[in-house]
Structure 1
Amino acid sequence: MKDLLFNPKGRIAKRRFWQGVVVLTVVAVIKRGVEIKLAAAMAGVLGIFSMALTLALVYANICVFAKRFHDAGTTGWWIMAVWIAKFFVFVLLFGLFGGLFLGDQGTALLEAMMESWASADEAQLTQASRRLVDMLFPLIIFSYVANAVLAALVVGSLRSDPNKNQHGPPTGLPEEFN
């Protein structure tokens, strides 16, 4: 598992790619959920731990996706296109469904946040933003999972290069070449 998640070199089969995506998605969802629910306590050591875990997850995502791109015979730099697409999916999901989660109470909360921001009332702004994030919590988690699944479906469906390429020999599993 260490080589799968933290080594960007080489190639991986589709099945191994999916294993990596599932592990990374589960860890990311749990991490984000803990961050949201413990927002008040995220300062100090817990905040530093959260940031370190975020950096480790970013690096692990690069490694898993890069190796899958390598297996398809292309560059791992395509991860940049994946991240841009994920950003647009995230914005689209929040644009389409954010209002469903907020309703009238969320609209009033947003207005209160704007007033707090204008009057520089940090305490009220912090409290209102935490309530807003709590209201959007299901959508945040759904967007993490939806983005991971969509990206994995696209990248996971790439046809493996059946020949040795600059990233190594083929993974050797016949079902990959369908």
Structure 2
Amino acid sequence: MDISRVLLSPKGRIGPRDFLRGLILLTGAGLIIQVLTVVASIGAAILQYPMLWAYFCVFGKRLHDAGQTAWFNILILFGFVVVTSILNAVLLPILSPNMMPLMTQIQEIGLKDGFGGMLQAQQEHALQIARGTALTTLASFLIGSAGLALIGARLPSDPETNAHGPPTGSSDTP
């Protein structure tokens, strides 16, 4: 597997095996960034934004292999955000129960002072929220990534040459 081709180029096709390898690398990098955000600095979260391109490339090439357009990445990203948000809401009282009073307080500020007040309260407590919800965030990220892996690996490969290149071949099937 050529890492730069899989993670940095949106052109071409990749089969399920290279897709899963690329997704595993991206998930590992995402975990490291989340740990850095909690341990070192909340500013480390900005490192997640360049990873969006790599996710776009990996999923785009996998969609190309299935004969689809890479624009479906928008649906995948939207689904990932929705699923991880729901998982965060469900797992928060289970994995981070000590954060519930603060989160309730921030919601009350939002009801009283509006959205701007809520954002300001979140910003004031950003490090405390990041540290207190770290386990919840990691769990929802891993569960969401596993769902992405399942979806991407299950896409059927186009056995014929398509607009994005020749077939990936049988050596790339899991």
Q: TM-score scaled by structure 2?
A: 0.82
Question: Which runs of 5 or more residues in structure 1 are unaligned?
Answer: none
Name the structure 1 match of 2:156: 159
Q: Give 1:16 deviation, angstroms.
A: 0.5
Match of 2:70, as an amino acid?
G
Q: Which one has a bigger Cα radius of gyration? A: 1
- In structure 2, the CA distance between the partners of 1:116 and 1:23, relative to structure 1 (3 Å rule), is same
2:37 is equivalent to residue 35 of structure 1:
yes
Corresponding position of 1:150: 147
Tell me if the contact between 1:36 and 1:133 (Cα under 8 Å) persists in the aligned partners.
Answer: yes
Q: Which moved more, 1:83-92 or 1:1-10?
A: 83-92
Give the TM-score of the pair, scaled to structure 1: 0.80
Cα 1:88/1:114, change in 2 over 3 Å: closer
- Are 1:106 and 2:99 counterparts? yes
RMSD over aligned Cα atoms: 2.8
Contact 2:99-2:133 at 8 Å conserved across structures: no
Give the length in aligned residue pairs: 167
Does residue 136 of the first structure (1) align with residue 133 of the second (2)?
Answer: yes
Unaligned runs of 5+ in 2: none
> Which runs of at least 4 in structure 1 moved beyond 3 Å after TM superposition?
110-120, 124-129
Partner of 2:34: helix, strand, or coil?
A: helix
Contact 1:113/1:125 (8 A) holds in 2: yes
In 2, distance between residues paired with 1:77 and 1:28?
23
Contact 1:67 1:76 in 2 (8 A): yes
For 2:166, the equivalent position in structure 1 comes to: 169
